[in-house]
Structure 1
């Protein structure tokens, strides 16, 4: 008769795996947060934001919020979260940005994965980025501060 592992062993294994994941996430978020803070401190983020402000205004966001979208879509969601921590945003802006990020994040990795199951890259990218833009725009329209 086959015996399963004990509850204490399962908890120990679960905690080990959780700790590995937490460390992996921290390794991404902390450096990105520090870099975003440095970009803000040296006003590089402000200079970049000027160019992105007109686009981001459609979503009720400051130009600096574009860095969160770029990092979340280009690297992964945790990089975006790390950059988000360095910005001063309202609850409305955080909510809009969070919905946009959860709609389209990790595009490079996920597009490659979906390609293996015969989903065309152009369709995947168009759908996810399109939905991100539509949701951000609509949420900004309906949420009046």
Structure 2
């Protein structure tokens, strides 16, 4: 079951981003190693088309970026579903950012962050784990 991001774009009532269970599990491990995290999805070729995961604040966002959603990877008491929290509520929120220019191309899609074996960019925190994040997309109605 995927973990859906909170809705953060004014006027919208649907999630634009989700995590697969495998991505959620890896992110929990990475959070324990690196602390708070964030994603940024830029455009371009090579690894620029993959979602990049950074320690929170290491990648500076600006007016050229848009926050698509916040994913809370905190585990509930049973180790399962997130507890749904902001930083002060014991949550583990991960913002998913995208360049506004790229968003113009992807605004009609729902994005699911997945993880596969392989080595992605050396700048993304999952690289030393022998795994890489990737986006699976589907058109929204």
TM bucket (normalised to shorter chain) is: under 0.3
Question: Higher Cα Rg: structure 1 or 2?
Answer: 1
Provide the TM-score with structure 2 as the length reference. 0.26
Larger % of helix: which? 1
Q: Which has the higher strand share?
A: 2
